[in-house]
Amino acid sequence: MELNQLTIHELQEKIKNGETSAVKITESVFQRIDAVEERVHSYIRLLKDEALVAAAIADENIKKGQIKPLTGIPIALKDIVCTKGIPTTCGSHILHNFIPPYDATVVEKLRDAGAVFVGKANMDEFAMGSSTETSYFGPTRNPWDLERIPGGSSGGSATAVAADECIASIGSDTGGSIRQPAALCGVVGLKPTYGRVSRFGLIAFASSLDQIGPFTKDVEDCAIMMNVLAGFDTKESTSVQAEVPDYCQFIGRDIKGWKIGIPKEYFIEGIDPEVNAAIQKAIGVIEKCGGKCVEISLPHTQYCLAVYYIIAPAEASSNLARYDGVKCGFRTSDARDLLEMYKKTRMHGFGAEVKRRIMIGTYALSAGYYDAYYGKASQVRALIKKDFEEAWKKCDVILTPTTPTPAFKIGEKTDDPLQMYLSDIFTISTNLAGIPGISVPCGFTAAGLPMGVQFLAGHLEEGKLIQIASAYEKNAQIEKRRPKL
C-alpha cells in the first residue's frame, strides 16, 4: 500500500517506528496528485515547494523526538480559510487575487500540530452550492465516477481525501457542506457544534450557520483532527468557552444501552431506494452493537429548507456587501465613476449562484419584508432547535441518511436551483440548530457510488458522535474500496 493511502494514525506509527519520513509521505502525496489531479480537480492552488520545506522541518523535529499529533501529515485546506501570504479565493473571481495578511486560527492550530499543507482545495463559490460546480476555477469531479459531482460546497476537500491526494483535509459546513460531500465521496466528515471550532479567518458566508470541520479516511483520524481543531479562541466572538475532551478516548467504546432516534420525517418519498436500503442496514448494525432504535419526530423538519434559504442568503447579502472593488480583490477597469465601478465589479466578480442568493437575501431584509421573511424564519428556526431539545429527552443520538440520493451527474441540476437545494435536505437542520453531525460511509450502490449514514448529537457532544461512528465503522465492516482513477 502506498503511503498516500494510509490514515493519520497508521502514518504516525510508521513515523515513530522510523519506517518512513515526512518528506517521503509528502512526496507520495504529490506523486498521487501528479497522477490524478488533472482529472479530479481537487485543488485551486498547490503548495508543493512550501510543503516539502515543511516536511523537511518535520523530519528534523522527528529526529529530536519532537513528534506532535500531525507531524509530517499532508493536509488540504478548503480555499475559504485565510492563509498568510497565500491567495485565498473562495472559488470566486472577485477574490482571485486576494492574499490574506494573517492565518485563520485553524491554520495556526494545524501548523502548530506539525501538519504539512498540500494546497488550497476547490469549492463552490463562497461556499454557495451543493456540487462544487459554481467554482470560478471549474468543477471538481467525483473520483468514483468522473462524470458525477462530488457534493459541495467542500467538494475539493472531500475528493482530495477520497482520491488519496492528501491524508486529511479541512472543510466548512453551512448547510451540509462537509457531511454531504463526505457521503458522496465515501469518506468521514464531521461538522462540529457551532462555536466549538474557531471561525476566525474563515471567510463568511452565513455567520450564524458556518462551522469548520475535518474530512478523514476513518473515524479515528477524525478524532485526532478534532483534538487539534477544537477549543476556545479569544479572537472569535462566537467561540464557545468549554473544556475539550480527548476525542480519541471515545474510539472503540461500545454503545450498549444507547437509544438511537430515527426521525420519521427523514424517510421521505423520493429518497433513493439504494440509499434507503443502506440506511436500514445501518440501523441493523447499530442494533447489533447494543443500541436500541426508537422512532422520534422532528415535526418542523418540513420547514428547514425554506428557513435556511431565507436566513443563509440574508446573511450572505450582508457579508458579501464588503466586496465592492475598493478594499480588496477584483476591481473592474471599465467604469466612468464610483457607482458604475461598484456595479460592474460585482456584476463581473460574482457568479450566477452567488448573485442569486445575494438578491434573495437583500429582498428578505428589505424594508417591509424583514418581519415577513427573515423575522419569521428566525422564529421557525427556534422551533426547529426546540424539536431537537425535545428529541434528546428520548434518545442519545439521532441516525439519518446524509443525502437523499447518491452523487448525480455534472450539469444535471444546474438549471434547477430548487432541485439542487434539495440535495441538502437531511443536513440543513443541524446547522439551524447549531448541533454537531458526522457522516460515515455506509456502503456502495450497484453502480459503485458511495453512500453515507449521518449521526447527530446534542451541543458539544462530538465525543458521542465519534463513539457511535467508531462502533458503526468497526461492526459494519464496509468493504474497503478505492476509486479506480
- Mutual angle of helices 48-63 and 22-40, in 10-degree steps: 160
Give the C-alpha separation, 95 to 102, whole Å. 16
Contact 97, 87 (CB under 8 A): yes
Residue the block writes with cell 497508521? 10
**Beta pairing partners, 294:** 261
CA angle 191, 166, 163 (to 5 degrees): 90
Give the C-alpha separation, 7 to 89, whole Å. 29
Q: How far from the centroid of its chain's Cα atoms is residue 426's Cα?
A: 14
Give the C-alpha separation, 223 to 451, whole Å. 21
Residue the block writes with cell 458503526? 472
Residues forming the active site: 78, 153, 177
Residue 331 contacts by C-beta under 8 Å, 6 or more apart in sequence?
325, 341, 345
Give the sheet arrangement for strand 43-46, strand by strand.
43-46, 116-121, 74-78, 168-172, 212-216, 188-191, 437-444, 450-456, 397-401, 259-263, 292-296
Q: How far from the centroid of its chain's Cα atoms is residue 393's Cα?
A: 28
Buried b (16+ CB within 10 A) or exposed e, 85-118: ebebbbbbbbbbebebeebbbbbbbbbebbbbbb
Is residue 34 helix, strand or coil? helix
